[in-house]
Amino acid sequence: MILKRGQCLIYRYDHEELWIEPWGPNGLRIRSTKGPEMPMEDWALLPAQPAEADIAITDEGATIRNGKIWAELSKAGKLTFYNQNNKVLLEEFTRNRREYKYTPGVRPKSFASALNIKSREFKPILGGDFTLTARFESVPEERIYGMGQYQQPYLNLKGCQLELAHRNSQASVPFMVSSLGYGFLWNNPAIGQVTFGKNVTTWQVQSTKLLDYWICAGDTPAEIVEQYAQVTGTVPMMPEYGLGFWQSKLRYQTQEELLEVAREYKRRNLPISVIVIDFFHWTKQGEWRFDPQYWPDPQAMVDELKDMGIELMVSIWPTVDHKSENYQEMVEKGLLIRTDRGHPIAMTFHGNTVHVDVTNPEAREYFWNKAKQNYYDYGIKIFWLDEAEPEYTYYDFDLYRYHLGPNVQIGNIYPFMYAKAFYDGMQAEGQENIVNLLRCAWAGSQRYGALVWSGDIHSSFKSLRNQVAAGLNMGMAGIPWWTTDIGGFHGGAPDDPEFREVFARWFQYGTFCPVMRLHGDREPHSEPLGTTGGGLCTSGAANEVWSYGEEVYQICVKYLELRERLKPYIREQMKAAHEKGTPVMRPLFYDFPEDRVSWEVEDQYMFGPDILVAPVLTAGAKTRKVYLPAGASWKHAWTGKTFQGGQTIEVETPLDQIPVFLRNGAELPF
């Protein structure tokens, strides 16, 4: 049965109900369930704005059109999506006899098959809901971008299998942009996987009540990403301090140590916008307050930093120790995640802990109020919301249950709700232009001021190469605020010549990331200061720009000053991200979609529309090849030499230079 209800096209057959609705410009939302009623959560999507869809129902099926996209629904329930030029964008993969249609003299639309494979397969879970598989036809030459952050070097994800789950350094943000001219959001926070195969594209989740996705058509990648931003939200405007340099290490152990580093930056007349207090500055996990033994006067600390023009960011973890002063109250009120089996422990780092259940509105309010009382009221306006996946000691997703449901069914929503908890609290205090640093994100996280970093990655050239792909795909997935630990997190000794090279190249790359942030767990470690509270943890070696020898120091000074001079340009890119969802850093094809070669380049990117960046990603490199897109002239930022686009050139790469080219002679202060 096919019917129309308002602006919704509905299909019913054998307990399945399928809805197709206009959602945003040139977009359609598709939902399907075999439950008693359609679940109504919007998840990543904002509420739909009124739209006029063109719906037609015939004896052979139905069509629905919204702007540049239209869908054809066959009588047997198969969906095919087209753009305004009637080009097929995406087609469900179905193999059964019901799809066979024969008209004499006309090629059949699909062929009869004995395989009996469904495009939308709901497989009941005994006593529960459904495992779900959604299948689509694959176009082998299609190129796919977005999907979040995975630690791999591949920008084009065609041929990849991706876990739809979060881990430390992995963020599943299930929005993709296709070279065929469509964008696709898997609007389901369940744990699963997607395979972008050569023969079939398959989305699968372990437990769910429904199929839910959104698809749009666009003539360019930019148009697709901007339409996605309209239906999921954009970032706030980046505050001024976000444009500069952020200093961090594992971990400043005392108030005086942190202040002395800030003073040294000022004594050296070096630009610095933000300094960071990392984890275990607290009494116990889940108490969210400074340990007074090591941080005796937070207000004086914040005031001195503000007098120097430096904002303070403080690390927050959602873990609550069983011995915390807040644990019993939070258990009684049901504010913590639950373990379906065994003892309620989710993480065992320095204590037995369980996480705040941020899917519970009451828990979000409780969590924020503690942070407000113990941090925000001192004037601390930026939070490092760490452990945002959340991280478990063991990633047994079927073990945990949240207020909104079992982890396997809604677990990927956790970082989205974590960001929302603090965004809502800060907004209620009247703060504008909110930005908080998180180690994870899901679709829509951007609208809650989420600045995402790439997690606890290795300190090596191989890891640096992975970050280029990760950052670009995060931008294409609708997360324009992204950063890395400059130098990587795990390892690296400041006096090691090999690591100094990695650090110098990473620092240059970090200059051309949306946020320039130095962090890392350097070797060797120092000893703990005590046996309780903020004294429990060791700290890494020095990680300031002067910690790596005079040659590297001079390189850092050069790029710190360059970042400062580029602030007006970066501010314009942040405005575009805020207003349209434009990624600050993006693949070459974003700005040059007509240039075929630009779609194949995976180790260069555009930083805004006028700066092309080609990071040095191998040890000992004296030169590297750079592709200059057609349709523009390109000026070498360091030599001033101009080249015509549409060619690959080889440039020298002395240790103090990252290859950078300016589009059409853009006048920028290099």
Cβ-based neighbour number of residue 180 at 10 Å: 16
Known catalytic membership, residue 485: no
Catalytic residue (choose from 72, 389, 544, 591): 389
What residues form DSSP beta bridges with 38? none
Is the CA virtual torsion 495, 499, 502, 503 positive or negative?
negative
Q: Is 456 helix (H, G, I), strand (E, B) or coil?
A: coil
- Among the options 456, 485, 595, 603, which is catalytic? 456
Long-range contacts: 598-603, Cβ < 8 Å, 24+? 598/627, 598/629, 599/143, 599/156, 599/179, 601/627, 602/153, 602/154, 602/155, 602/156, 602/468, 602/469, 603/465, 603/468
Using the CB atoms, write b or e for 241-264: b if 16+ within 10 Å: bbbbbbbbbbbbbbbeebbebbee
In this structure, what token pair is assigned to residue 528? 């703990």
Does the annotation count 163 as an active-site position? no
Please provide residue 663's backbone torsions phi and psi, each rounded to the nearest 5 degrees. Answer: -75, 130
Assess contact for 342 and 379: CB atoms under 8 A.
no
- Count the alpha carbons within 13 Å of 214 in the hemisphere toward its beta carbon: 27
Q: How many Å apart are CA 63 and CA 400, to the nearest integer? A: 42
Torsional sign, CA 653, 656, 662, 667: negative
What single string gives the DSSP state of each residue in 273-285?
-EEEE-S--BSST
Neighbours of 644 (CB within 10 A): 11
Please tell me whether residue 520 adopts helix, strand or coil conformation.
Answer: coil
The DSSP bridge pattern shows strands 482-483 and 516-518 to be unpaired
Q: Considering 21, 291, 386, 610, which one is annotated as catalytic?
A: 386
Residue 252's SS3 state is coil
Check: CB of residue 243 under 8 Å from CB of residue 571: yes
Does residue 625 sit in helix, strand or coil?
strand
Active-site residue 389, yes or no?
yes
| Catalytic machinery residues | 386, 389, 456
